[in-house]
Structure formats: C-alpha cells, structure tokens
Amino acid sequence: MEGQDGLNRLFFELASESRLGILQELQKNEFRMQEIARRLRLTDTEVCRQLQRLSDARLIQKQPDGHYRLTTYARLILDASLQMGFINRNMEYFLDHDAYQLPSEFCARFGELSSATLIRSTVETLNWVCQMFKNAEKKIDAVVVGLETMLDMELQRLNEGLKVRWIVYESYLPKAKLKLQSLERLPEMRSTLNIHGHVGVTDKAAVLTIKRNDGTWSYDAFVGEDPSFHKFAQDLFNYEWEKAKPWHP
C-alpha cells in the first residue's frame, strides 16, 4: 500500500499543468526561478510554490547558484511519461488494436514510437510504403503479406542491387514459390507460422502494423524516418527473423 500511495502522490504532482511545464522546461536546461516564471508566463509566487512542491517530491534540486535542475529520478519519470503520452495520443488506435501481440520487451519500448506518424487509410499506407521502397538505397527487410505490387517492387529493387530479406508466412509459401520460380536472383528468406507485427524496414525508414483485437490485420500503420522508431522496427524484424526458419524455394 505504501508503494501505491507513493505512486498516487507522484501522479498527483504530474497532474498539474504548471508543475509538468516546469519539469519539461528543466528537461531542456537548468534555470533560475525567475527564468522559469518568464518562460511559462507564471507569477514568481506561483512558480516558487510549485518549485517547493517539486523539491519535496524529489523531482528537482536547487543548486548553490540558484539554478534548478531535474533529479535523475525525475528524468526516468519523464522518459516513462513519453511512452504514456504516445499511447494516450493514439488512444483510438490502441482501443482497436492489441499491442500485447508484440513481445513484452517491445511493448515496454513504445516511447520510441513517439515521433512516428499514424496513418489510418489503406491507400495512404500503401502509397507511403511504395515510396519507402523506391527511396531505399541499401536494403529492404519486410514481412511478406502477399501484396503483388509490393512484392514486384521489392524484387525490382533486389535486381537493382539492394539486399532484400523476406519473412514469409508458411500459408503463403506455395504462392511465393510460384512467384519466385523464374527468377535468377532471390531474396534471403525465412518462413514462420506466426508473426507479432507486420514490419518493413529500409536503410532510411520503417513501417509497422499490429493486429486488431479480433486477430485480423489492418493497414493502419505507424510510419516514419525517426531514428528511434527506425531502430524499434529494425529490432522487431530481427527478432522475428531469428525465430523464423530458413526457406529456399
């Protein structure tokens, strides 16, 4: 109960717009009280009161020169709030999609998706992915979902010299074999019975979709070129790649 009471108090401190604003400003740099008041357009009296509360909560420290800075504890809290903010901004998506289809270690990294863009249109998603493959310069890693246009584009880029890796559903293997039988050059391929997330990664960008609550796939997708999101998607693809079985048609 003591731990829960402490968490409740922490949430209460973070629930104040002015206190959270102070923490976010101190995340950028160290400031004196008057500087914080000016940046947040608050009175000195109000800022002084909020700084005392944050100090009591051990979220900030006052330095001998009068500057305030975040504690290392506060930095951890703000990093965790980044993940909560991302999930909250995309509430409608996560009400409809089962994030727990992903391995737990990836659910714990959702803050890395904060700079990704959510597309909720099939046409826009497909157009974005097509452009992503066109812009690739070195490689394409993709979960194969059977879209002929996408497969043709990936194979074209393979012939242009890019490294291409496919993770193929076992149910799609017969069609994939027909698709590849006349080709001289093949992607590096592995097969799997199940996939946690549809993911595509190039050297520049990434796309990620997860299952709906009813177990079906949608084309609602997170896309982007942000390094943190790109690393998340690449790590997820590599995780699935290591679990899949080598396949040679």
Backbone angles phi, psi at 181, to 5 degrees: -65, -25
CATH code for the part of the protein at 2-80: 1.10.10.10
* Pairing mode, strands 198-202 and 139-144: antiparallel
One of 3.30.870.10, 3.50.30.30, 3.40.50.300, 3.40.718.10 is the CATH number of 90-246, namely: 3.30.870.10
Adjacent-strand bridge partners of 10: none
pTM attached to this predicted model: 0.79
In the chain, where are the structural domains located?
2-80, 90-246
Q: Classify 9 as helix, strand or coil.
A: helix
Same fold, 2-80 and 90-246: no
Residue 4 has a pLDDT of: 58
Cα dihedral value 191, 193, 198, 201, nearest 10 = -20
CA distance 85 to 80: 9
pLDDT at 6: 74
Give me the amino acid identity at 201: V
Distance separating alpha carbons of residues 67 and 95, to the nearest angstrom? 42
Q: How far is CA 99 from CA 73, 174, 248, in A?
A: 28, 30, 32
Vertex 213 angle, CA 77 and 102, to 5°:
50
* Token reading at 63: 């330095």
Residues 6+ apart with CB under 8 A from 217: 145, 198, 209, 211
Residue 40's nearest CA partner among 19, 61, 67, 62 is 19
Residue 248's pLDDT is 84
Measured between alpha carbons, how far is 87 from 21 in angstroms, rounded to an integer? 20
**Distance, CA of 80 to CA of 14 (rounded, Å):** 12
Q: Which residues of the chain register pLDDT less than 50?
A: 1-2
Task: For 33-74, write each residue's pLDDT tens digit.
Answer: 999 999 999 999 999 999 999 999 999 999 999 999 999 999
Structure tokens at 186: 């093949």
* pLDDT at residue 1, rounded to an integer: 38
The DSSP code sequence of 166-210 is EEEEGGGHHHHHHHHTT-SS--EEEEES--S-EEEEESS-EEEE-
Beta partners for residue 147, in sequence order = none
